[in-house]
């Protein structure tokens, strides 16, 4: 441990770091973009929707004028797009220090018999939820390994751990991402730390839960859905030197919901 550092506060700073966040055009991804920039990081925002992505970037930039904020419109489920994300990021910066795999794909299967789910329902979730994070980890991880190291944070879900109605495909692919997290943590240590964050139901609107979200509220001890900014603290911990001895782990930020 560096005795000159104030580990009670300074270790949580991200000064001098570059963070890349996928699914950054809304909700948790947008919240983390604001949080990481405020903590000192330059941020690359990635999402499929250009208009909304640029609006988030402008908001982050306005709040953090000293930070460099870049955007890449891309689909992490498409191999060519991932290659472009990696190449563009490395053209802008010597390396990315923090990768947050937040983008996800989920199919509607609430009325499907589990024994009758067609193959096409699996394709997009597999590409986005597993292959996308793996490809980004490989491409950005090469520079992390050769450079200053880094931190990878994979966003999971409670349905990756316990069966949840209507989430067979989504939960299965996220469960695979959890195992990938653990494998990467072992094989990429000590240069790269790889951890996971599992939010509960989170909404950027701040409105009371409705529909399916309302139905699960009785299982949430905190009695409400979460807000994007409530994910920032855990994510900054995993991204920062404060978590320098933490890898292959998961933090649940779900209001205490047991799933």
Give the catalytic positions in this structure: 170
Contact by Cβ (8 Å): 107, 118: no
Over its C-alpha atoms, the chain yields an Rg (Å, rounded) of 18
Distances (CA, A) of 34 to 42, 192, 215, 216: 10, 23, 30, 28
What proportions of the chain, in percent to the nearest 5, are helix, strand and coil?
Answer: 45, 15, 40
Helix (H, G, I), strand (E, B) or coil at 189: coil
250-253 and 192-199 beta bridge pairing? parallel
Q: How far apart are CA 19 and CA 163, in angstroms?
A: 32
Distances (CA, A) of 134 to 1, 49, 57, 95, 183: 31, 22, 25, 17, 11
């Amino acid at each position: 441990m560096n005795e000159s550092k104030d580990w009670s506060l300074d270790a949580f700073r991200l000064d001098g770091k570059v963070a890349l966040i996928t699914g950054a055009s809304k909700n948790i991804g947008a919240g983390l973009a604001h949080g990481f920039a405020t903590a000192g990081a330059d941020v690359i925002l990635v999402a499929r929707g250009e208009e909304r992505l640029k609006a988030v970037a402008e908001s982050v930039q306005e709040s953090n004028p000293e930070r460099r904020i870049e955007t890449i419109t891309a689909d992490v489920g498409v191999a060519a797009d991932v290659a472009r994300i990696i190449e563009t990021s490395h053209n802008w910066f010597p390396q990315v220090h923090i990768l947050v795999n937040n983008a996800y794909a989920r199919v509607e299967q609430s009325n499907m018999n589990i024994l009758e789910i067609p193959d096409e329902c699996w394709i997009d979730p597999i590409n986005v939820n597993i292959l996308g994070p793996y490809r980004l980890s490989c491409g950005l991880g090469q520079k992390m390994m050769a450079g200053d190291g880094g931190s990878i944070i994979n966003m999971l879900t409670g349905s990756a751990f316990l069966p949840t109605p209507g989430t067979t495909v989504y939960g299965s692919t996220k469960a695979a991402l959890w195992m990938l997290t653990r494998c990467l943590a072992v094989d990429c240590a000590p240069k790269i730390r790889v951890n996971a964050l599992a939010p509960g139901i989170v909404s950027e609107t701040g409105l009371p839960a409705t529909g399916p979200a309302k139905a699960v509220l009785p299982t949430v001890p905190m009695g409400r859905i979460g807000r994007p900014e409530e994910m920032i603290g855990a994510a900054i911990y995993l991204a920062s030197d404060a978590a320098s001895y933490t890898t292959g782990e998961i933090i649940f930020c779900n209001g205490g919901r047991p799933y």
